[in-house]
C-alpha cells in the first residue's frame, strides 16, 4: 500500500475510535460535575495518563524538541528529566492530596472557584477566569501550529492545506469533548497515551540506529560547530549553554504546578491511593515521552543543516528572513522524514495527533468550563445544569475558532506562543495556589500582586521583545550588548522568572496585610 494511503487508513481508524469514545461517555454525562470532573471518581491510571497527555503535545515533540535539540544537543534530555521529576512526580505527592481535599470541601470545580472560596473574593474569581481564557488561547494555537507542520511534511501541503488540517483537528477535538466532557477526555487520553509510549520509543530507537548507534551519533554531534555553539559540546552531558537550559527546565517543569488544566486533574481523582499510584505512572510516562522527545531532538543537527547540501544527506532548513535564525518548527519533521521508513510515517502522525488532541481537549474543557462556571453563571438567574452544558459547548467552539485564527498566522512560533502562555498563567497562579493550599496566612493582596506580576512580566516582555515593534529595536540592541549569560530576550526565561517571582512575592506580601478569613480556616480547625 502507498505510504500516504496507509497513513489515511490509520488516521481514519483513529478518528472513529475517538468519536466512538465520545458517544460512549455522552450517555454517562448527566450533570455539569460529570462534564467538568467526571463525577470526581477517576482512577489512578486514567488520571496519570490524562495528566501526561495534557502535559505533552506537538509543542514538545515538534517545537521544543527541535529548537532545544538544535541549541543544546543531547543535553536537552535534562528538560525531559525535569518534566518527569519536577513536573510530574512532585506535584502528585505535594499538591494531589491537599488539592483533592480542599476542592471537594469547597465544591470547587475550577481554579477561579477555588480562589473565590479560599480567599473570599468574587473579584479574584472573575480576574483569574479572564486570565485563564485569554492565555490558554496562545497555548492552544501553538499545538495547532505543531500539527500543521507535521501534516504539511507528510502530505506535502501548502499554506491552505495546513490551515485545512488545523480546522479539521479543531472540529475533531470539539466533537468528542462536547459529547462526553471530562470522561471522554480521560478515556481518550488513556488510549492516546498508549500510542504515545509506543510511538516515541520507536522513533527514538530509529533515530539513533540510523546514525550507526548511540556512540557514533554522539561522536558525530561533537564534531559540529557553528556561530551558536562550540565543537565538542552538543554530545556532552551539560551541552553548550547550561544556564539557559536551566531556564527551559524551570518553565516546562515548575509551570505545571500553577496551570489550571494540570492541577484540575487532582480535583477529579478518586482517592488518596489513586494519587500515590498515579504519581508513579505519570512519572514513568513523562520519562518515556518527554525524555524520549528531547533526546531525539538532540540529534536534529545530524539530520538538518542550514548551509545546503554538504554531502551528508542532511535536510536543508530554511531561515527566518527577519532575524536569520533557523525555523525551528521544521526541524523534527525533517528528521522524521529522513530517519523513518515511509511505512512508519503513519505511526508518527497518529503519535503527534494523539499527543496534541489530548492536550487540546483539556485546554478547551478548562477554558469553556471556567468561562461558563465563573463568569456567566454568577450573572444569570436560574442558570441550571442544562443551560451550563449548552454554554460550555458553545464556548468550546468560540475558543477553538480564536485559536485556529492565531495558529494560521505565518509568523506564529510554537515555542514563543507556549512560553508566554505558561509564563502568564503559572506566573499568575503558582504562588496563590501553592501557598493557598498550605498556609492560612496567605492574603488577598498577595494573590492580586501575583496576578499582576505574572501577567505583567509576560505581556511586557512580549511587547518589548517579541512583537517586532521597531520603536523597541534600540532596547533590544542594548540588552544584547550586555552580553549576559542569561538570555534576557528569551520568552522562556521571562516565563520562568515570572513563576519564581510569584512563589516569592505571595508569602512576602502576606506578612503585611491581615490574612483573608476564608472557609479553609474554619474547616481546618474542625479537622
Domains and CATH numbers, the chain: 3-376+383-407+415-526 (1.20.1730.10)
Question: Which of the listed ranges 191-195, 312-316, 505-509 does the model predict with the highest average pLDDT?
Answer: 505-509
Q: 194 CB contacts (<8 Å, ≥6 apart)?
A: none
Q: How confident is the model over 143-172, as pLDDT tens digits?
A: 777 777 777 766 666 656 667 766 777 777
Q: Which residue has the cell 462556571?
A: 373
Which comes out higher in pLDDT, residue 18 or 273? 273
Tell me what pLDDT residue 112 has: 92
Q: What is the DSSP letter of 480?
A: H
First to last CA, the chain: 65
Q: Which residue has the cell 503527534?
A: 352
Question: Which of the listed ranges 47-56, 164-173, 371-380, 416-425 does the model predict with the highest average pLDDT?
Answer: 416-425
Q: How confident is the model over 426-485, as pLDDT tens digits?
A: 999 999 999 999 999 999 999 999 999 999 999 999 999 988 788 888 999 899 888 888
- What percent of the chain is modeled with pLDDT above 70? 82
The upper half-sphere exposure of residue 136, i.e. CA atoms within 13 Å in the direction of its Cβ, equals 30
Q: Which residue has the cell 488561547?
A: 137
282, 75 contact by CB (below 8 A): no
pTM of the model: 0.85
Q: Which of 398, 393, 399 has the alpha carbon at shortest distance from 35?
A: 393
Average pLDDT, the chain: 82
Band (525; pLDDT cuts 50, 70, 90): very low
For 189, counting Cβ atoms within 10 Å of its Cβ (0-12 exposed, 13-18 middle, 19+ buried), the class is: buried
Mean pLDDT of 219-243: 80
Which comes out higher in pLDDT, residue 250 or 143? 250
Distance in angstroms (rounded) separating the CA atoms of residues 63 and 418: 10
Tell me what pLDDT residue 280 has: 95
- What percent of the chain is modeled with pLDDT above 90? 36
> Is it the case that residue 499 has pLDDT exceeding 90?
yes
Phi, psi dihedral angles at 305 (to 5 degrees)? -145, 155
Give SS3 for 305: strand
> Is it the case that residue 419 has pLDDT exceeding 70?
yes
> Is it the case that residue 349 has pLDDT exceeding 50?
yes
Amino acid at each position: 500500500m502507498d505510504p500516504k494511503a496507509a497513513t489515511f487508513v490509520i488516521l481514519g481508524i483513529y478518528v472513529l475510535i475517538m468519536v466512538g469514545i465520545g458517544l460512549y461517555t455522552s450517555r454517562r454525562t448527566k450533570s455539569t460535575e460529570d462534564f467538568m470532573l467526571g463525577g470526581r471518581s477517576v482512577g489512578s491510571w486514567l488520571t496519570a495518563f490524562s495528566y501526561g497527555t495534557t502535559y505533552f503535545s506537538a509543542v514538545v515533540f515538534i517545537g521544543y524538541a527541535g529548537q532545544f535539540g538544535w541549541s543544546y544537543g543531547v543535553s536537552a534530555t535534562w528538560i525531559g528529566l525535569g518534566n518527569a521529576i519536577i513536573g510530574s512526580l512532585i506535584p502528585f505527592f505535594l499538591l494531589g492530596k491537599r488539592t483533592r481535599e480542599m476542592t471537594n470541601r469547597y465544591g470547587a470545580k475550577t481554579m477561579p472557584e477555588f480562589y473565590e472560596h479560599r480567599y473570599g473574593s468574587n473579584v479574584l474569581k472573575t480576574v483569574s477566569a479572564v486570565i485563564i481564557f485569554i492565555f490558554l488561547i496562545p497555548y492552544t494555537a501553538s499545538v495547532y501550529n505543531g500539527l500543521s507542520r507535521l501534516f504539511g511534511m507528510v502530505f506535502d501541503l501548502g499554506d491552505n492545506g495546513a490551515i485545512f488540517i488545523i480546522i479539521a483537528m479543531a472540529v475533531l477535538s470539539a466533537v468528542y469533548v462536547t459529547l462526553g466532557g471530562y470522561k471522554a477526555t480521560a478515556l481518550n487520553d488513556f488510549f492516546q497515551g498508549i500510542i504515545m509510549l509506543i510511538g516515541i520509543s520507536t522513533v527514538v530507537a530509529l533515530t539513533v540506529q540510523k546514525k550507526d548507534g548511540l556512540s557514533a551519533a554522539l561522536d558525530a554531534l561533537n564534531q559540529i560547530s557553528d556561530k551558536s555553539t562550540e565543537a565538542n559540546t552538543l554530545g556532552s552531558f551539560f551541552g553548550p549553554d547550561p544556564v539557559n537550559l536551566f531556564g527551559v527546565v524551570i518553565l516546562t517543569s515548575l509551570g505545571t504546578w500553577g496551570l489550571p488544566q494540570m492541577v484540575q486533574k487532582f480535583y477529579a481523582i478518586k482517592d488518596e491511593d489513586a494519587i500515590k499510584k498515579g504519581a508513579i505512572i505519570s512519572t514513568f510516562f513523562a520519562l518515556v515521552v518527554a525524555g524520549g522527545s528531547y533526546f531525539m531532538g538532540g540529534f536534529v543537527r545530524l539530520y538538518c543543516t542550514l548551509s545546503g547540501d554538504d554531502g551528508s544527506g542532511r535536510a536543508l532548513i530554511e531561515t527566518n528572513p527577519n532575524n536569520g535564525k533557523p525555523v525551528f518548527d521544521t526541524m523534527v519533521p525533517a528528521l522524521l522524514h529522513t530517519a523513518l521508513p515511509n511505512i512508519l510515517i503513519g505511526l508518527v502522525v497518529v503519535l503527534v495527533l494523539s499527543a496534541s488532541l489530548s492536550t487540546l481537549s483539556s485546554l478547551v474543557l478548562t477554558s469553556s468550563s471556567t468561562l461558563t462556571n465563573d463568569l456567566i453563571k454568577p450573572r444569570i438567574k436560574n442558570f441550571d445544569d442544562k443551560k451550563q452544558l449548552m454554554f460550555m459547548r458553545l464556548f468550546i467552539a468560540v475558543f477553538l475558532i480564536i485559536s485556529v485564527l492565531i495558529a494560521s498566522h505565518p509568523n506564529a512560533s510554537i515555542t514563543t506562543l507556549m512560553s508566554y502562555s505558561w509564563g502568564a498563567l503559572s506566573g499568575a497562579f503558582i504562588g496563590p495556589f501553592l501557598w493557598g493550599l498550605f498556609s492560612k496566612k496567605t492574603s488577598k493582596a498577595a494573590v492580586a500582586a501575583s496576578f499582576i506580576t505574572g501577567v505583567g512580566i509576560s505581556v511586557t516582555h512580549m511587547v518589548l521583545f517579541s512583537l517586532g515593534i521597531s520603536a523597541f529595536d534600540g532596547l533590544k540592541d542594548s540588552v544584547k550588548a550586555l552580553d549576559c549569560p542569561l538570555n534576557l530576550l528569551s520568552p522562556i526565561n521571562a516565563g520562568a522568572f515570572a513563576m519564581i517571582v510569584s512563589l516569592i512575592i505571595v508569602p512576602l506580601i502576606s506578612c503585611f496585610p491581615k490574612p483573608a478569613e476564608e472557609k479553609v480556616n474554619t474547616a481546618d480547625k474542625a479537622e
